[in-house]
C-alpha cells in the first residue's frame, strides 16, 4: 500500500571519502535531521577552478521529511569539508506507508 502524497524527500550529496561521509552522517542521524543515509562509491567528473576534475567520491542519499530540509542544509554546510557541497533535493511522489511513518517518527524533534 502506498502513501499519497508524501512529504518525504531524498537529498543527494557527495563526500571525498567514506570516513568523512560516516563522520558527518552520524551527526545528521544523531541530530535526527535524517531518517536514513545510503552511501555509494562513485567516480565524479566536474568543473572546478577552471579545470575538469575526475575523482572518486562517496555519493549519499539522505531520506528526510520536507520540514527537516532547511535544518539539514544548514548543518550539512557546517560539517561538510567542501566549500561548495552538493545539495540536491528530490521530492517523492509516494512512499510505502510503513516507511513514511517510520521516517517521520525518527526525525521528529525531541524524539
CA–CA separation, 34 and 55 (whole Å): 26
Tell me if the bond preceding 99 is cis, omega within 30° of 0: no
**pLDDT tens digits, one per residue of 4-48:** 568 899 999 999 999 999 999 999 999 999 999 999 999 999 999
What pLDDT sits at residue 24? Answer: 98
Give the pLDDT band (50/70/90) at residue 3. low
CA–CA separation, 91 and 66 (whole Å): 8
Pick from 38, 39, 30, 24: which is nearest to 107 by CA?
Answer: 30
Domain 18-82+99-111 indexed as CATH 3.30.70.120 = yes
**pLDDT tens digits, one per residue of 57-93:** 999 999 999 999 999 999 999 999 999 999 999 998 8
108 — phi, psi (to 5°)? -65, 140
pLDDT at 109 over 80: no
Amino acid at each position: 500500500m502506498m502513501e499519497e502524497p508524501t512529504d518525504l524527500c531524498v537529498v543527494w550529496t557527495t563526500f571525498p571519502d567514506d570516513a568523512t561521509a560516516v563522520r558527518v552522517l552520524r551527526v545528521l542521524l544523531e541530530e535526527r535531521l535524517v531518517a536514513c543515509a545510503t552511501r555509494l562509491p562513485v567516480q565524479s567528473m566536474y568543473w572546478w577552478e577552471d579545470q575538469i576534475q575526475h575523482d572518486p567520491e562517496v555519493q549519499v542519499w539522505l531520506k528526510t521529511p520536507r520540514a527537516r530540509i532547511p535544518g539539514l542544509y544548514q548543518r550539512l554546510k557546517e560539517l561538510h569539508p567542501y566549500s561548495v557541497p552538493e545539495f540536491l533535493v528530490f521530492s517523492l511522489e509516494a512512499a510505502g506507508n510503513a516507511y513514511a511513518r517510520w521516517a517521520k517518527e525518527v526525525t521528529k524533534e525531541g524524539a
